[in-house]
Amino acid sequence: MCLINIKAFIKRERKMCLGWPVTHQTKVLKFSDDETTNYAILSYWWTDQEINHDEMVELTKIEVEERDKICQHDGYQKILDSCKQAVRDKYEWLWVNTCCIDKQSSAELSEAINFMYLWYKNSKVCYSYLHNVPSTSFPMECDNEKHPVSNGWPEWFSHGWTLQEMIAPSNI
């Protein structure tokens, strides 16, 4: 499985924010074994601003204006916030499906689909990002006013993929 090297990601982000040069050799993604690596994993509802594998890998090669635009996307900020939380929780690795799977590789995409439940199960913690929930805990009751399009619950609860992301990890 491909994982984000959290320290490398945050270091690259810091350099980009300060306007410092970032080398193209900075590797933020690395393949590792899900059974022997302690990693955090992210579960969330997709938006139209997710960061894909190519953007994550090629970010330092993109023109500054385009790079800054990508870094402002909700998807990028969600990854950055998850990395910061993982650092606080003392993890070095993070898995995020949109950028840790090269969807241009049919073999890698097929492997990810087949192993995703196991990857969530083997993670040490699963961060569930509820984009439209202001508090830091799961909602405990239905609220049709706050969530009218998803039967009173945040969209995360109505997405089919998130079922395995909710039941597989031992720590959410």
pLDDT tens digit sequence for 76-119: 999 999 999 999 999 999 999 999 999 999 999 999 999 999 99
Please give the Cα distance from 103 to 110 (Å, whole number).
9
Strands 39-44 and 93-95: parallel
The confidence score (pLDDT) of residue 137 equals 65
User: What number of CA atoms fall less than 13 Å from residue 100's CA on the CB side?
Assistant: 27
pTM: 0.85
Q: Where are the domains of the chain?
A: 2-167
Question: Looking at the DSSP assignment, which residues form a beta bridge with residue 2?
Answer: 31
Helices (H), 59-160: 64-72, 74-88, 97-100, 106-122
Mean per-residue pLDDT for 30-38? 93
Q: What is the pLDDT of residue 140?
A: 73
pLDDT band at 21 (very low <50, low <70, confident <90, very high): confident
Query: Tens digit of pLDDT for each residue in 131-157?
Result: 666 666 667 788 788 777 777 777 666
Element (H, E) at 145: none
Q: Who wins on pLDDT, 163 or 2? A: 2
- Give the burial class of 80: count Cβ atoms within 10 A of its Cβ; 0-12 exposed, 13-18 middle, 19 or more buried: middle
The angle, 0 to 180 degrees and rounded to 10, between the axes of the packed helices 74-88 and 64-72 is 70
